[in-house]
Structure 1
Amino acid sequence: MELYLVTDEAACMGRDFFWVVEEAVKGGVTLVQLREKALSTSAFIDKAKRLKELLAPYKVPLIINDSIEVALACDADGIHVGQSDMPFYELENVLPAGRIIGISAETKENVQEAEAWNISYLALSPLFATPSKTDTGNPWGMDGISWAKQNSRHPLMVIGGLNAINTKEAIQNGADGIAVISALCSSPSPYEAAKELRAIIAASKSEIHLPPQTGFPNK
């Protein structure tokens, strides 16, 4: 889960959405979250099914943002929810066994509460203020990652303002991976941008003697 692409069609700068995603995957993306706030449920499902088919040859999991209905309809690999969405215990009861469950954490209280949950990862949001995520709390910053690493047993993703300049510092402060939107969707070459970020993550983990992560803990 080292390099997590959160999709945003508007950020693709008018280019074909599926081309952008596939180029990023070819460059090294290890997980894709389909995030759609404006589509109808039926259109969301259609897009999710097409994206799952695209990702299958690369063995990259598809995560659906917020919608259990869409996740079940397209047989997604997992779901990601924010603090204002469906409670964790309901997700666990509805999803098939073994699916990936990701939860956003906007406060220290969110991190502490999640200690009782058997989730796949915790996403600290936002790391920095960003136009892509305007409905969240105060930015965590690098000190926030360090605090969460000391107070959480879950793999930690960070999202919000990550790029080639600050990824190394995020990893060295305790992030297991980064989630990005515009850094890939808006890049002139999603392939090259993903390749660069994966290389930075690998080098950063090597410096602090952390093995690269290839999967998720069993739930």
Structure 2
Amino acid sequence: MAKAKTNSFPLYLITDRHQTSGRDLLAVVGEALAGGVTAVQLREKDLAPRELLELARALRELTGRFGARLLVNDRIDVALAAGVDGVHLGEEGIPADVARRLLGPERLIGVSCHTLAGARAAEEGGADFITFGPVFFTASKARYGPPVGLAPLAEAVRSVSLPVFALGGITRENAADAMAAGAAGIALISAICAADSPRDEARALLSLLPHPSRKR
């Protein structure tokens, strides 16, 4: 069931309004969606709950126009209130099985994993997919220590039956390496959010993936 839910988005965009060079986040995400992105994670941890809910509702309307999925980082309450497609949890956060009881069987649950133990726990808890990393260096994941590299990514892919998305420092230059390690897709922030043209960057990244989404 998990693979059926997630095989439609090989590229998973994670938001960070601090990396848009002052551009409106909705405009940046809209450009990425126009470039073919079909899954977005709203990850704005510093927003107050009401602001986060308002942004989630606005993004829900925007992603809906493109038929794209929208997940909210950690906040199950916001995900339910905004009517989005699911949540993305931290490895040390709310367990996937608890989230599943609250969200029901249809919504997506992703889990960020940095260890094989975390990946296995996410699978046992009923997650639909995981992100694994940081595979390459990225400032946003520096607190998790040095990059894990491609070999642990490949081991994670072999260790669980869930789709595994490579996360951390993913760019056009290394996306193919992550896919060669067995990743089901790539998850990223700055490559698109900080790009001069999020639309063109999304198209370029999708063209490197085995089954890119239809370009718009």
TM-score, L = length of structure 2: 0.91
- CA pair 122-52 structure 1, distance change in 2 beyond 3 A: same
Contact 1:156 1:176 in 2 (8 A): yes
Partner of 2:4: none
What is the DSSP-based 3-state SS (H/G/I as helix, E as strand, rest coil) of the residue aligned with 2:45? coil
Q: How does 1:152-167 map to 2 (within 5 A)?
A: 152-167=160-175
Amino-acid identity (%): 37
Contact 2:38 2:66 in 1 (8 A): no
Partner of 1:205: none
Q: Can you list the C-alpha shifts for 1:179-216, whole angstroms capped at 9, x where unaligned?
A: 110000000000000000000013xxxxxxxxx388xx
Partner of 2:27: 19
What is the DSSP-based 3-state SS (H/G/I as helix, E as strand, rest coil) of the residue aligned with 1:135? helix
Once the 2 structures are TM-superposed, how far is the Cα of residue 30 of structure 1 from its aligned partner? Answer: 1.8
- Rounded to whole Å, the distance in 1 between the matches of 2:95 and 2:123 is 14
What is the DSSP-based 3-state SS (H/G/I as helix, E as strand, rest coil) of the residue aligned with 2:186? strand
Structure 1: 5+ residue stretches without partners: 203-211, 215-219
Partner of 1:96: 104
- Rounded to whole Å, the distance in 1 between the matches of 2:28 and 2:135 is 24
- Rounded to whole Å, the distance in 1 between the matches of 2:145 and 2:133 is 8
- Rounded to whole Å, the distance in 2 between the matches of 1:96 and 1:117 is 13
Q: CA RMSD in A?
A: 1.4
Q: Which amino acid aligns with 1:171?
A: M
1:36 and 2:65 equivalent?
no
- Rounded to whole Å, the distance in 1 between the matches of 2:86 and 2:164 is 16
**Where has structure 1 moved over 4 Å in runs of 4 or more?**
none
Structure 2: 5+ residue stretches without partners: 1-8
Contact 2:97 2:126 in 1 (8 A): no
Once the 2 structures are TM-superposed, how far is the Cα of residue 84 of structure 1 from its aligned partner? Answer: 2.0
- Rounded to whole Å, the distance in 2 between the matches of 1:148 and 1:27 is 29
- Deviation larger for 127-136 or 152-161: 127-136
Partner of 1:194: 202
Contact 1:106 1:138 in 2 (8 A): no
1:3 and 2:11 equivalent?
yes
- Rounded to whole Å, the distance in 1 between the matches of 2:88 and 2:55 is 17
TM-score, L = length of structure 1: 0.89
**In the comparison of the two structures, how many residue pairs are matched?**
205
Q: Which amino acid aligns with 2:108?
A: I
Q: How does 1:65-214 map to 2 (within 5 A)?
A: 65-202=73-210, 212=211
- Rounded to whole Å, the distance in 1 between the matches of 2:106 and 2:152 is 30
Once the 2 structures are TM-superposed, how far is the Cα of residue 138 of structure 1 from its aligned partner? Answer: 4.3
Q: Which amino acid aligns with 2:166?
A: V
Q: Which amino acid aligns with 1:195?
A: R
